[in-house]
Amino acid sequence: MVEITLKVPEDLARRLQPVREQLPEILEIGLQHSAPLSIRAYSQAIEFLATAPTPAEILAFRPSPAIQIQVSRLLDRHEAGTLTPDEEHELDQIGDLQHILMALKARARQQLDQIESYF
């Protein structure tokens, strides 16, 4: 394990003292949430697909509520015309993922329909 020394304000140091043993986990969580929204959304979809979901599970898949909220905020800002170029790029990446998931769900629906028509 690598040791890292950080300079932090006194008030933050006092707040960190009781959780000092959990700091690696706290930093990991913070890094996960600081990743761009599109990367978090793609990672979530890939993790889900790596479980080899059934067609029904694919149809039921939804992004986490946190991602849904952030996407809604970006869409609201897009409609208001207040997105930065980086946010516009994020929204484009999310749109690409949404198209992929829609195609995947369409294929899952076809598979379920074939199974249902067989019986």
Mind listing the pLDDT tens digit for each residue in 19-70? 989 988 888 777 766 678 888 899 999 999 999 999 999 999 999 998 999 9
Q: Is residue 3 part of a domain?
A: no
Q: Are 59 and 105 in contact (CB under 8 A)?
A: yes
Q: Is residue 88 part of a domain?
A: yes
Report the C-alpha gap between 107 and 113 in whole angstroms: 10
Q: Is residue 84 part of a domain?
A: yes
Domain that holds residue 114: 37-118
Alpha helices, H only, 18-84: 23-34, 37-49, 55-60, 65-80
Q: Is residue 23 part of a domain?
A: no
Q: Is residue 24 part of a domain?
A: no
Report the C-alpha gap between 70 and 87 in whole angstroms: 11
Report the number of distinct structural domains present in the chain. Answer: 1
Q: Report which of 46, 86, 85 is spatially closest to residue 63, judged by C-alpha positions.
A: 46
Q: What is the pLDDT of residues 81-114, one digit of tens each?
A: 999 998 999 999 999 999 999 999 999 999 999 9
pTM of the model: 0.69
